[in-house]
Each structure stands twice: as C-alpha cells, then as structure tokens.
Structure 1
Amino acid sequence: MSHTAMLAPTRPTPPAVRPSPLWASVQALQLRTVAVMGMTKNTGKTVSLNHLLAQAHQAHVAVGLTSIGRDGEERDQVFSIPKPPVMVTPGCLVATARDTLLRAKVRTRLLGGTGIESPMGEVVLVKALDGGEMEVAGASRSHDQHRVIALLRQCGAELVLLDGALGRSHHASPAIADGVVLATGAAIGGGVQDVLRKTRDRLAILGIAQADEALATQVAPAFDCGGVGAWDAEGHPLWIEAVATLNAAPRLLQLMGTPVRTIAVSGAVARRLWMALSTLLQAHPGLTLVVADGTKLFIDAVDLAQFERQGGHVCALRAIRMAGITLNPFSPFGGSFDAHEFLAEARSAWPEHVVSDVLLQP
C-alpha cells in the first residue's frame, strides 16, 4: 500500500440533495436571475433561498447571491424572534456589505469591490471557501442591483439569487430578475383559506398578462422616456411626456375629452394615479393600461378586478415569470397548519404553479 493511500483514509460520501420540483422549474425555465420574495416576514423565504443554494450546489451550478435588504441576522429586526440563517455553499459568490463579513461563520476570499456604499460599508464580492452561515446585505437601488448582478456573472455565476426584503418587490421586476419564487405561509394570519386568498390576491397583481408585440411596440416611447403616454384607438399618440408618475394624475384627467384608448405608465401606479385611471375608464370604456410589470401596481387585487369588470384591461410590458410558490405551515405567532394538508390545499388552489414545501419530500 502506498504512503498516499495510508495518509488519505476514505470518507463517507455525503447524501445527495434530491432534486426538487422547485429546482426543476428554475432549470426548465432556464432562469439566470431568480428573486426570492416573501408575502410577509416569517413565511419561509430564507429557507427557500437555502434550498435553492443547496440544489444549485448539488447540480454543480455556479451560483451568486445578494440581497435587496439584509438577511441572515440571528434575530428578526422587527419582531426580535430567532431567524434561520442564510446557509451559503462552498464556492458560492456573494455580494454583501463589508461589515457583514465580520460576523460570517465561513471563510471567504475577497474578489473585489463594487463602489456601492451601504450603511454597513461598501458592497464587496467574496467567494465562500466552505459552507455555513452568512449574513447578506446588498445594494438597495435598482441600478446598483444591475451592476452587482453583472459583476457576479463576470466572476462566474451561472445563476444569481436575489434575496428580497419586506415591502420592497422591485427586485422581482423582470427588469432585474427573470424569475420569481414567492414564499407564503401561516405567518400571514388567519386559517388556511385566508392565507390562500391573500396569496391569490398577490399573484393576481404580480401575474398580469404580457402585452402583445404590437401593443408593446406602440407604447415603447413612454417607457423609453421613463414617463407616461396616451394613444387613441388607431394607435396614434395623443400625449407622451417624461413626467413622474406621482405627478401624472392631473395631466391624465385632462384627457377626459379626447378619444383615449391606451395609457402607458412606466413607473409606479399608486392610489392617486389609479383613481385617475378609473375615472378615465368611466368615460372611455375599453381603456387599456400598460405598466412595466406587476411590481409597479401598488393597488389591491379587488381594485384590479373592479377595473376589469368595468371593461378595462391591464397588462405588462414584460410579464413576471413565477418559478414557484413555497409554503411555510409554521407561524411563530401561533396558528400553525398541518404541513401536508396545507400543501394539498395550495396545490389544488394553484394548479398552474409549482407549489412546494421545501422541507417535505417532493
């Protein structure tokens, strides 16, 4: 026997991570950037993120990770309850604020800076040299996220995972991520049917259909200038201006006497602008509203349904691709569900989506 063999005893091979329906969906859709967002806190977003990290590692897919907010801290910053840590895998590329590295429980190698500052220092790029717990805090602005994603890809990431933040869904926009995983669960409150209803309402907003090619071409000038536009039934422009959407409501109401048929809004649609659009719909049946994507609609599902019942149409320049919905039957506030029953009810409610509890067998 050689000295080499004597010095290198065999080690048991760790069990393989079983490929899951969620991971299969990410791969089938050929997604390169996936945003993981939660309906609210404690709905299992971090557990879902860790699942994707483990699945990517098992599949030998080079993965990059960053966050729109801050994740991986030991306790929830709002409710001060224990949180599951972010578990990076060996070789994972991470874009995070420099100060978070002081608390990392893994060895890392610094790859470079980004020039993007955060309250916890510059967002830097590191490579995890082993697996373990890590706090992640990334860039908060959209244009900075684009830069971080590009840098992670330059470092070799085939798949970039974006960890979302409560109440901030712009990272799920197709302009940033080409796929979304939505985490929902008992922490929303109420019974199973209440959680399903609230999640269904969120899906209705995020899942508005994509405009056809002809309509997308027609409204492109409004999005190109970052403003608002209006067109008549023949597709002739009535008004296109690089006006902030917060200030667009009074200008749109001036179109009451014109033959407007299509409105395009490049920015956020909040309550005041939505009321102006609803008023226009009453004067112009069949009005079509085109927004950038579902993350720009800051309205309730009931508002959207009422608009469509009155003959209006709402569509997106680019539709959001839902890679999957994950479930957390546990709530730290009480009122947890039976995991198997919750999964069965959710799969029945959303047969068009991949629905999974990543802690249960597929």
Structure 2
Amino acid sequence: MSGHLTPPCPLWQGLRAQQVHTVAVMGMTKNTGKTVSLNHLLTQAQAERLTVGLTSIGRDGEARDQVYAIPKPPVMVTPGNLVATASDTLVRAKARIKLIDTTGVSSPMGEILIVKVIEAGEMEVAGASLNHDQHKVIALLRQCGADIVLLDGALGRSHHASPAMADGVVLATGAAIGGSMGDVMRKTHDRLAILGIPPAPAEILARTRAVWAQGGVGAWDHHGNCLFHDYIATINAAPTLLANDLKAVSTVAVSGAVGKRLWQALQLIAQHQPGLTLVVADGTRLFVDATDLHAFERQGGQVMAQRPIRMLGITLNPLSPFGGNFNAREFLALARQTFPQHLVTDVLLTKEGT
C-alpha cells in the first residue's frame, strides 16, 4: 500500500484494525456531521488506494437539507469509487462517471445503477430502501471490486446499521441535537443504549431459533417450553401475546420491529413477570425511548439482541446551523470522558488530544 496522502485519524485506523468490510454511517439527527464523516472516510480510503463502494439508505448529497433548506456539505467522490445510486441523480453529478452495472432494483428516483468515478466531484447518492434490495446492491458493489462498502443512512432510518446489513456503525452526533454539551451527551448516551443492547446468551438463542429462522413472534415459559410461535407481523402481535397466561411468559422473541403498541403489551407482561426477557434481532428494531428501556429494566426485565450492533466509532460536530456552537476541543474531551468504551473523534480537528 502507498503512504497516506492525508494523516490517518483514529477512526479510520480503528476501522482498518477491526477489518470491517461494510460500514454504516448514521447521524443522531440532521446536521450532526454525518456527510462530513462519510467524506472523511472516503478520503482516508483513497489514501490507502482502497476501492470504496458507496450507497445510501434514502438520499444524501443534495445541495440543501430537505427539511430545513439549509445548505449541506456535498458527498465528495474520488476516482475509483464505485457508487450505487438512482439513475435520476446522475444528471446532477459534478463528478465524471462511467456506468459499470445495472442492479434491477427500482426506486422512486429510477433504477439503482452502479457507476465508477473517473474524475473527482460532488454526487447525490440515493440508494435502495428495502433490506433485500440493499443486500443485493452491496453484493454487486463487492462483485464490481469494492474493498469496503460505506452505507449512508437517512434521517429517522437506522436499519442499515443492523448487523444483518453492516459489520459495524459510525454514529455522528453534535450540537445540532440542541441544548448544552451535557444534553448532547445524554441524548447520545440514550441512543447508544438502544443500539447497544447486549447479545442474548447461547441458551436463549437456541430456544428462540425458530423465530430467527422463520420470522414472527414467539413466547416461552420458565422451563423453555414454547407457549406459542406465530408468523404474524409484529405490528399485530400484541393481542396474541396478551392472550397467554401472562404469569407463564418468561421469554419473548420478536423478529421484526417493536413499536409502541407491542411495547405496551410487553410492559404489561413484565408487570406479571418481572424477570421477562425480550429478544429482538438487534437494536435497530427497537422503536422506543431509552426511558422506556430503563423503566423495563427497573422492573427486572431484560432486552437482548440476537446479533449485537458493533459500534465502530462516534464522530462529533461542535457546530450547529441553529446556533449554540461548542468549543470543539472541550466537546471532544467531554465526549471521550463520557464514552470511554467507544472511539470518539472529531474528523475536522487536525491535532486531537488523546
């Protein structure tokens, strides 16, 4: 490999050390520096002459924030990058590109196409939104020669961070969340609590195997006997769960998303069975607040993942388009103190404290 054109940062070094092949980049909210972090990773990969595959869950790289109409940093692609994006975005590309392959995956903005960047420039990236389509796109990017695939996530959507999709996650947080530095730390901590639910032990995974293999919702008693396993959508699972003897339910496994209605049913079961264990596919399937999770745990309940999410790093943006900017180095120091178990960095600081 060649020498670095730019100094390697701890985030990139961490990714390379962990030998991940698919990385999801997600933001806590709009304007927390997700695109800046993505561009940084693209630059670092170019310095090592790695071929990057890039795609998005949703849309990124547009000139203005579609919610607040605030100018956004563009996605900057470099020669050799492989980009999977909707055909409609290509007419606006400011990079010179070459069509490499089609995917057969449709989107509201046209078929997802794979292009190779010939000359550097800005691009808007709009990828597949459905899980099975995204798996297909990732596989095609690899077949076309990608050494590492970066998945850019859209606001309010985190399924690209699932271990079923990505080897690990980079989470962007920052002042745009609102409030003081302490408020940002607390909100980020709450998000990490949801994403970072621990893995279920082998015994429970063995007991709940049918749910992961076949889908649906299942419940088991203290002795490991299956009370029911139904192939229903999780949005309709609450009445089926509550039809059981609530005192008998010890473990519940859910293959899909856990929303408000299902969560309320689980809380009711936990009142009768304080040691209730809930197993979900991973933290991206929990659509509840951290306060709900903590209340459940205070009741004696446990929430576990079939496959835990691998948090590769946290990036910081001390600036907010709404005002309330932070001192970058103070923000970095506080974040590293708050999250000592995570790799925390500000990719725009040239000389970071350790």
- State the one-letter code of the partner of 1:237: C
Match of 1:265 in 2: 254
Structure-1 separation of matches of 2:3 and 2:166: 32
- State the one-letter code of the partner of 2:187: K
Match of 1:204 in 2: 193
Partner SS for 1:22: helix
Q: TM-score, normalised by structure 2?
A: 0.97
- State the one-letter code of the partner of 1:177: A
- State the one-letter code of the partner of 2:28: M
Find out whether 1:18 has 2:7 as its counterpart.
Answer: yes
**Map of 1:71-86 to 2, 5 A cutoff?**
71-86=60-75
Find out whether 1:106 has 2:95 as its counterpart.
Answer: yes
TM superposition shift of 1:214: 2.0
Structure-1 separation of matches of 2:245 and 2:147: 49
Deviations 1:285-334 (A, max 9, x none): 21100000000000010111111111111100000000100000000011
2:4–2:48 Cα contact (<8 Å) kept: no
Find out whether 1:343 has 2:343 as its counterpart.
Answer: no
1:225–1:241 Cα contact (<8 Å) kept: no
Partner SS for 2:139: helix
CA-based RMSD of the aligned residues comes to 1.3
1:256–1:283 Cα contact (<8 Å) kept: no
2:246–2:273 Cα contact (<8 Å) kept: no
2:218 corresponds, among 214, 229, 240, to 229
Partner SS for 2:132: helix
Structure-1 separation of matches of 2:166 and 2:99: 25
Deviations 1:188-231 (A, max 9, x none): 11110011101100000000001122211211101222100011
1:137 corresponds, among 117, 126, 130, to 126
Match of 1:281 in 2: 270
- State the one-letter code of the partner of 1:323: L
Partner SS for 1:156: coil
Find out whether 1:59 has 2:45 as its counterpart.
Answer: no
Partner SS for 1:260: coil
1:252 corresponds, among 237, 241, 245, to 241
Partner SS for 1:327: strand
Find out whether 1:172 has 2:161 as its counterpart.
Answer: yes
Match of 2:184 in 1: 195
Partner SS for 2:119: coil
Match of 1:123 in 2: 112
Find out whether 1:321 has 2:334 as its counterpart.
Answer: no
- State the one-letter code of the partner of 2:281: A
Larger deviation: 68-77 or 43-52?
68-77
2:229 corresponds, among 209, 231, 240, to 240
Structure-2 separation of matches of 1:56 and 1:281: 47
2:33–2:316 Cα contact (<8 Å) kept: yes
Structure-1 separation of matches of 2:320 and 2:274: 45
Q: TM-score, normalised by structure 1?
A: 0.94
Find out whether 1:159 has 2:153 as its counterpart.
Answer: no
- State the one-letter code of the partner of 2:174: G
Structure 2's unaligned 5+ residue stretches are: none
